[in-house]
Amino acid sequence: MRTVKVGIAGAAGFSGLELFSMLVRHPHVEIVFITSEQHAGRPISDFIVAQKGGFDPVFEPLDPASQSVKAECVFFALPAESSLEAGPGFVHDSVVIDLSAAYRLSDPVEYKKWYKHEHTATEILPSAVYGLTEWNRDSVRTASLIANPGCYPTSVLIPMLPLMARGYCSNDTVIVDSKSGVSGMGRKVTPEATFMQISNNFRAYGVGTHRHTPEIAQELALAASFATPVIFTPHLLPIERGILSTIYFKSAKTAEECRAHLAHFYEGEPFVRVLDNGLPEIAHVAHTNLCVCTVVPSGIPGTLIAVSTIDNLVKGAAGQAIQNMNVRFGFPEETALV
């Protein structure tokens, strides 16, 4: 198989470093540049000590004009506003896989409502493919712009989309209760992200306002062909990584029927496990590209509970991005992910 020249924009953040650590082991990838505005001129071994004495590229500033012609595929591990600015400069020469929210929402008005700034790349937005690999694999194969899903939405949509599409869910409100490790907050230090605020603590945040809410609602509506209200509440766990989502939904089906449908839908998928017994745990998926999920009774007739877990930095970010790259360039999907 041929080698693909790859760039990582924003490689000094948690997702960017995870991308580098996985891509450097990919047998069909050559990393040709890594960028960081803040850390330009520093080697990546300042962040990943294992690279000392080995392949140790230096961070450079982002420059679409020169970098777009170097790389066939560019990963954006950037803030959404930076991805909007850089996207048009790369997408005509490179396949762009964006880990931010810049291209996930199809409606720029909805984007502005939740992200509080204008969508400034509307000329390329219609070409974006939502990169939930197991759901949109055929579209990913030919995409020039892949919008990697958010970490929370990935944990919700993998169990819920097949049920929505099959008519196993009513159009009543879907309630999503999610918990994430602190790496989901990103690398930026804030008062809320200090050790004293996180250790031995547990709290909700973004209640009623979290930006992943419209992404979940958009994809559920597309699968079901009707709008479904979504209440999404994230919580911060005092652990490094991992997401566990508990999803409450109305259904005329039994939990057994839902599990059977999910098991059939994901049969043969390398990164989805549907449990018939027991409940998913973060320990099942940490440091992997797996999603483990199930559906169980709630004890209330007509209401079921889906439970799903992923690693937010892998299946929720870098791993799914590499899975999409593998699909896009025709590599075995598990390459560098198992």
pTM of the model: 0.96
Does position 185 have pLDDT exceeding 90, yes or no?
A: no
Tokens matching residue 304: 């079921």
CA distances from 42 to 20, 130, 157, 314 (A): 15, 33, 38, 25
Contact 273, 256 (CB under 8 A): no
CA distances from 122 to 212, 215, 327 (A): 20, 17, 26
* DSSP one-letter code for 67: H
Pairing of strands 128-130, 230-236: unpaired
Tokens matching residue 134: 């197991």
pLDDT of residue 195: 85
Strands (E), 138-278: 145-147, 174-180, 203-204, 230-236, 243-250, 272-274
pLDDT tens figures, 252-286: 999 999 999 999 999 999 999 999 999 999 999 99
Does position 32 have pLDDT exceeding 90, yes or no?
A: yes
Domain ranges of the chain: 4-149+316-329, 152-312
> Of the CATH numbers 3.40.710.10, 3.40.640.10, 3.20.20.70, 3.30.360.10, which one belongs to the domain with range 152-312?
3.30.360.10
Tokens matching residue 296: 């169980």
Strand, helix or coil for residue 207: coil
The type of residue at 169 is C
- Give the burial class of 41: count Cβ atoms within 10 A of its Cβ; 0-12 exposed, 13-18 middle, 19 or more buried: exposed
Selected catalytic residue, list 73, 151, 258, 291 = 151
151 is catalytic: yes
> What would the CATH number be for the domain defined by 4-149+316-329?
3.40.50.720
pLDDT tens figures, 36-51: 999 999 999 999 999 9
Does position 220 have pLDDT exceeding 90, yes or no?
A: yes
Please tell me the distance from the alpha carbon of residue 233 to that of residue 202, in angstroms, as a whole number.
13
pLDDT of residue 192: 78
Is it true that 4-149+316-329 and 152-312 share their CATH fold?
no
10 Å Cβ neighbour count for 301? 7
Instruction: Tell me the percentage of the chain whose pLDDT exceeds 90.
Output: 94
Contact 235, 178 (CB under 8 A): yes
Does position 308 have pLDDT exceeding 70, yes or no?
A: yes
